[in-house]
Amino acid sequence: MDTGQNTGQGMGLDGVVAAVTNLSQVDGKAGRLIVRGRDIEDLAGSYDFADMAVLLWDGLVPDLPNADVVRRSLGQARLQAAETLPLLLPAAQGLSPIEGLRAGLALFNDQDCDHLLLCAAVPVFAAALWRQSHGSRPIAPNPNSGQAEDFLAMLNDGTVDGAAARALETYLVTVADHGLNASTFTARVVASTKAGIVSSVVAALCALKGPLHGGAPGPVLDMLDEIGDPSGVAPWLDAQFAAGERLMGFGHRVYRTRDPRADVLKGVVSDLRGNLCRGPNRIELAERVEKEVLRRLAERYPDRGLDTNVEFYTALALEAIGLPRELFTLAFAMGRVLGWTAHIFEQEQTGRIIRPASRYTGPIPEGRKLSAIAG
Ligand code: ACO
């Protein structure tokens, strides 16, 4: 493990190389995301979820079939996942959708559950949990549909807008993998202990839930709602900056420039402009807020290169697709579960437990000295 320069207290492992992977690479200086040798801009829009699964699982899943077979297997796995709903739904009463999803995935056992069932379960559980919280019964999956289309059908009484389904498919591909982000790192740590695929994915989902990672897009829309109209931008930001608040959808640990996924998703929003439930002014307001936030962040942190991250346009894209904001983090999990499973397989192949060191700064018993070996 390369500990780089950041070994100080309070550091978040910035710049530390903690895994070797051939899955994806984030080039933070150039603003590029490469997944298995392809730029994300090339994959988004031309690949669907099953294509992306094959790209990421290739060489990691023995006898991996082609994308058509994986597409059909995912459909069958959605039917299988739906068999768990009678157990999950009563237990998830009163939980938020993301907590319900956490409970649902935890119902599987590490021995019998495979990567296909985990990937298939996320949309099935998300749709059913949402419907239950609104007093509706689940809609059965259609094994012949694609992952995004079936999710929207299960959510919306079987009705699907084709453009929204294509846009969601693009979103799932765009967020499928992204280097050693917090949730993927968590998945690899748990996988390294040989705890199993379900335990590793559940742990990853727990990491994704936080607002500094996958929980940001809902608050992005809350921000736009609170600002209301262009006249509200400056006073709202004045108050946030004065209070030292972080602005959701901006900044990134690795990118020193614009997150390339932000532009892919901005394109998705443009294509769906007519669907924006808050009207076309939503995007104009968002662009105004973005411009003003970036100006202020550059003024305050001139050397840091804080820019728009994936979550800002994720919020607008998922809203335009018609998803309720309480499902945004679950939609993220729906895409990222592909990357988690691939990283879990890759980590398991190394056979080595991830166990970094800490630097103790507490008291030591009188007359004793600590050895130089960090614990
Ligand atoms: N708004 C205001 N200030 C910010 C923001 C922001 N969005 N991001 C960073 N800063 C500030 C920090 O507070 C810090 O200030 P300080 O030195 O006075 O404490 C300074 O900029 C430098 O911070 P970084 O080192 O760039 O931040 P870090 O790498 O620790 O955190 C993170 C990255 C968590 C993404 C951060 O930028 C943030 O909180 N953003 C808002 C939440 C968000 O959008 N999360 C989604 C990220 S994308 C993803 O996970 C899928």
User: How far away, in angstroms, is 143 Cα from ligand 1 center?
Assistant: 41
User: How far away, in angstroms, is 278 Cα from ligand 1 center?
Assistant: 28
pLDDT at residue 1, rounded to an integer: 44
pLDDT at residue 258, rounded to an integer: 87
Confidence category of residue 279, pLDDT binned at 50, 70, 90: low
Confidence category of residue 9, pLDDT binned at 50, 70, 90: very low
First to last CA, the chain: 15
Instruction: Tell whether the model's pLDDT for residue 368 goes beyond 90.
Output: no
**Average of per-residue pLDDT values in the chain:** 93
User: How far away, in angstroms, is 220 Cα from ligand 1 center?
Assistant: 14
Confidence category of residue 2, pLDDT binned at 50, 70, 90: very low
Strands 38-39 and 32-35: antiparallel
Ligand 1 close to Cβ of residue 317 (< 6 A): no
Half-sphere exposure of 17 (CA within 13 A, CB side): 7
Output the six-digit token pair for 333: 């999990």
pLDDT at residue 12, rounded to an integer: 87
pLDDT at residue 369, rounded to an integer: 83
Contact 146, 158 (CB under 8 A): no
Element spanning 77, H or E: helix 67-82
Tell me which residue has its CA closest to atom 15 in ligand 1: 301
Tell me which residue has its CA closest to atom 37 in ligand 1: 251
Place of tokens 């996958």: 214
pLDDT at residue 10, rounded to an integer: 56
Instruction: Give the CA dihedral 34, 38, 43, 49, nearest 10 degrees.
Output: -80
Mutation pick for ligand 1 pocket among 250, 311, 329 (CB with most ligand atoms within 8 Å): 250
Percentage of residues in the chain having pLDDT higher than 70: 95
Catalytic annotation present for 226: no
Tell me which residue has its CA closest to atom 41 in ligand 1: 248
Percentage of residues in the chain having pLDDT higher than 90: 86
217-321 domain in CATH 3.30.465.10?
no
d(CA 355, CA 167): 40
The more confident residue out of 342 and 215 is: 342
Nearest-CA neighbor of 79 among 150, 158, 155, 162? 150
Contacts of 112 (CB under 8 A, 6+ apart): none
Question: Rg of the chain's alpha carbons, rounded to an integer?
Answer: 21
Ligand 1 close to Cβ of residue 311 (< 6 A): yes
User: How far away, in angstroms, is 212 Cα from ligand 1 center?
Assistant: 8
Instruction: Tell whether the model's pLDDT for residue 274 goes beyond 60.
Output: yes
Instruction: Tell whether the model's pLDDT for residue 216 goes beyond 90.
Output: no
d(CA 310, CA 299): 22
Instruction: Tell whether the model's pLDDT for residue 8 goes beyond 70.
Output: no
Confidence category of residue 347, pLDDT binned at 50, 70, 90: very high
List 47's β-bridge partners, or say none: 44
Confidence category of residue 150, pLDDT binned at 50, 70, 90: very high
Q: In this predicted model, what pLDDT tens digit does every residue of 288-330 receive, in sequence order?
A: 999 999 999 999 999 999 999 999 999 999 999 999 999 999 9
- Residue extent(s) of CATH 1.10.580.10 domains in the chain: 24-213+330-350
Q: In this predicted model, what pLDDT tens digit does every residue of 64-116 receive, in sequence order?
A: 999 999 999 999 999 999 999 999 999 999 999 999 999 999 999 999 999 99
Catalytic annotation present for 149: no
Element spanning 241, H or E: helix 233-242
The more confident residue out of 257 and 206 is: 206
Contacts of 21 (CB under 8 A, 6+ apart): 179, 180, 343, 346
The more confident residue out of 228 and 280 is: 228
pLDDT at residue 277, rounded to an integer: 63
The CATH classification number of 24-213+330-350 equals 1.10.580.10
Q: How is residue 24 annotated by DSSP?
A: E
pLDDT at residue 5, rounded to an integer: 46
Q: Kindly report the CA angle at 45 between 159 and 61, in degrees rounded to 5? A: 95
Mutation pick for ligand 1 pocket among 246, 254, 299 (CB with most ligand atoms within 8 Å): 246
- Residue extent(s) of CATH 1.10.230.10 domains in the chain: 217-321
Determine the atom of ligand 1 nearest the C-alpha atom of 312: 44
Q: If you average pLDDT over residues 276-283, what whole number do you get?
A: 72
Instruction: Tell whether the model's pLDDT for residue 278 goes beyond 70.
Output: no
Ligand 1 close to Cβ of residue 166 (< 6 A): no
Q: Give CB contacts under 8 A, 24+ apart, made by 93-101.
A: 93/132, 95/129, 96/326, 97/126, 97/129, 97/130, 97/133, 97/326, 97/327, 97/330, 98/205, 98/209, 98/215, 98/329, 98/330, 98/333, 100/125, 100/129, 101/125, 101/126, 101/129, 101/205, 101/330, 101/333
User: How far away, in angstroms, is 187 Cα from ligand 1 center?
Assistant: 22
Instruction: Tell whether the model's pLDDT for residue 272 goes beyond 90.
Output: no
Among candidate residues 252, 319, 343, 346, the one labeled active-site is 252
Among candidate residues 149, 169, 311, 319, the one labeled active-site is 311
Ligand 1 close to Cβ of residue 210 (< 6 A): no
Ligand 1 close to Cβ of residue 312 (< 6 A): no
Mutation pick for ligand 1 pocket among 223, 309, 330 (CB with most ligand atoms within 8 Å): 309
User: How far away, in angstroms, is 368 Cα from ligand 1 center?
Assistant: 40
3-class secondary structure per residue, 25-48: EEECCCCEEEECCEEHHHHECCEC
d(CA 152, CA 244): 38
Place of tokens 């003024």: 299
Contact 269, 320 (CB under 8 A): yes
What is the side-by-side strand order in the sheet with 32-35? Answer: 24-27, 32-35, 38-39
pLDDT at residue 133, rounded to an integer: 96
Contacts of 317 (CB under 8 A, 6+ apart): 167, 171, 265, 268, 269, 272
